[in-house]
Amino acid sequence: ARTPAHDSALAGLRVVVSAGGTREPLDPVRYLGNRSSGKQGYALAAEALHRGAHVTLVTTASLPDPVGADVVRVETARELQDAMTAAAAEADVVVMAAAVADFRPAEYVGTKIKKTQAAPGEEEPDDAPVVRLVRNPDVLAGLVHHRDELRTRTGDPDAGPLVVGFAAETGDETGDVLHHARAKLARKGSDLLVANEVGVGVTFGQDDTTVHVLAPGGRVLLTAGPTTKAAASAAVWDAVEEALRG
């Protein structure tokens, strides 16, 4: 076991981390989901606990609870938003590591969706349903908005939590991972953005990851990896500590 890091700037602070991929139900037995395992969020929670923070973990995943964390279980983006908004009101640092579904089924069917059965000898009916999607709330943007409102209302430029976003990026013909991450940071307005390099077989559910931590304006504070999610988490908290110290 490692010795507690008593000199950490996180010691005694209240930290909220979201983890896992949201599940958006179609009916009582089916959902739209994504490949997020939740491991990065759990690793972040474990490292924050190690550094002496009080940790609330808002999660969709069923991994073992980090010892000492308050764990709040959610499924959908809207449940995650409610839990994060409530927890952020008392927090010093909020980290949105969850993979939140951008869209959810427009309608939830309260009973199991059934296919019509063909009579023996008849052709299979052409009865495939069309699933219409609607946008989910942007939880991270909402947290930033709340915090900015609080700052305006109180006149205190340091009121509210430090907000950290994540961005899973692959890079494409329009730009590389950092290009997309910088654009996302500008759009979201978070205090830090952790850009996660993803690709086929990379990061989602895997143990090794590469992260770049960006500050407003797009400066790369640090890069870690390819390395374990535990080591990447230490790098993220190092960057948060630096930001907290100003």
Q: Which residues are annotated as a binding site for CTP?
A: 102, 112, 137-140, 166, 184, 188
Smaller CB distance to ligand CTP: residue 77 or 91? 77
Distance CA 69, CA 61 (A): 14
Check: CB of residue 227 under 8 Å from CB of residue 206: no
Catalytic residue at 34?
yes
Check: CB of residue 55 under 8 Å from CB of residue 93: no
Smaller CB distance to ligand CTP: residue 34 or 227? 34
Q: Candidates 98-106, 121-129, 215-223, 224-232 — which segment interacts with ligand CTP by CB under 6 A?
A: 98-106
Q: How far is the CB of 77 from ligand CTP (least distance, A)?
A: 6
**Residue 77 touching ligand CTP (CB under 6 A):** yes
Smaller CB distance to ligand CTP: residue 28 or 205? 205
Partner whose footprint covers residue 98, from ligand CTP, Ca ion, none (CB < 5 to 8 Å by kind): ligand CTP
Strands 162-169 and 93-96: parallel
Q: Which of 21, 44, 166, 197 binds ligand CTP (CB under 6 A)?
A: 166
3-state secondary structure of 231: helix
Q: How far is the CB of 183 from Ca ion (least distance, A)?
A: 13
Check: CB of residue 113 under 8 Å from CB of residue 26: yes
Q: Candidates 47-55, 131-139, 170-178, 204-212 — which segment interacts with ligand CTP by CB under 6 A?
A: 131-139
Long-range contacts, 233-238 (Cβ 8 Å, 24+): 233/40, 233/43, 233/44, 233/46, 233/47, 234/47, 235/211, 236/44, 236/47, 236/95, 236/164, 236/194, 236/211, 237/8, 237/10, 237/44, 237/47, 237/48, 237/51
Q: Candidates 41-49, 99-107, 119-127, 189-197 — which segment interacts with Ca ion by CB under 5 A?
A: 99-107
Of 30, 31, 34, 220, the catalytic one is 34
**Residue 102 touching Ca ion (CB under 5 A):** yes
Q: Candidates 72-80, 101-109, 176-184, 203-211 — which segment interacts with Ca ion by CB under 5 A?
A: 101-109
**Residue 72 touching ligand CTP (CB under 6 A):** no
Check: CB of residue 170 under 8 Å from CB of residue 199: yes
Cβ partners under 8 Å of residue 164, min gap 6? 93, 94, 95, 96, 190, 191, 192, 193, 194, 236, 240
3-state secondary structure of 148: helix
Smaller CB distance to ligand CTP: residue 13 or 167? 167
Smaller CB distance to Ca ion: residue 5 or 183? 183
- Site residues, ligand CTP (CB under 6 A): 77, 96, 98, 100, 102, 136, 138-140, 165-168, 184
Task: Point out which residues bind Ca ion (CB under 5 A).
Answer: 102
